[in-house]
Amino acid sequence: MDNLEQLATEFRDAIDRLIASDTSISTYGFKARFPHGQCLNSSQMLATYLKDKGIEDVSVISGTIGNMGSHAWVTVKDVIVDITADQFEDYIYPKVFVAAESNLHSSYSSELAMFQDLGQELSGTYGKVLRYL
């Protein structure tokens, strides 16, 4: 789990550095709102990065709470990896959360999200994030 936390932390730090320095990021409001509303984009990019690093059993999970909204995160086997959990004011989570269980994540009715290719715009953002690693 230590290697997983290290990789996730490096990736989140790279996103933070990219956002602080690059004015051309436009992916669905990524720069203006991160981490708010960017959990699915971030999770898809993180999942791609972890797979590229040889991590197996990587999934993107999407969850909902009634009409209140949705959230997405990554799991590796049964471990939750969330690089946007710090967006929630009702929960105190670090910028990178890696654990086997969580009150936040268990409150969502969750399911495996369809893992898709990043698409042209998100691929461009992913490429920019990689430059900061």
Q: What is the pLDDT of residues 17-34, one digit of tens each?
A: 988 887 666 655 676 778
Report CA 13 to chain centroid distance, whole Å. Answer: 12
Confidence of residue 99 (pLDDT cuts 50, 70, 90): very high
**How many alpha carbons lie under 13 Å from residue 92 in its C-beta half-sphere?**
0
Residue 87 half-sphere exposure toward CB, CA atoms < 13 A: 17
Average pLDDT over residues 95-101: 92
CA distance 9 to 5: 6
Is the preceding omega at residue 94 within 30 degrees of 0, hence cis? no
Mean pLDDT, rounded, for 1-29: 84
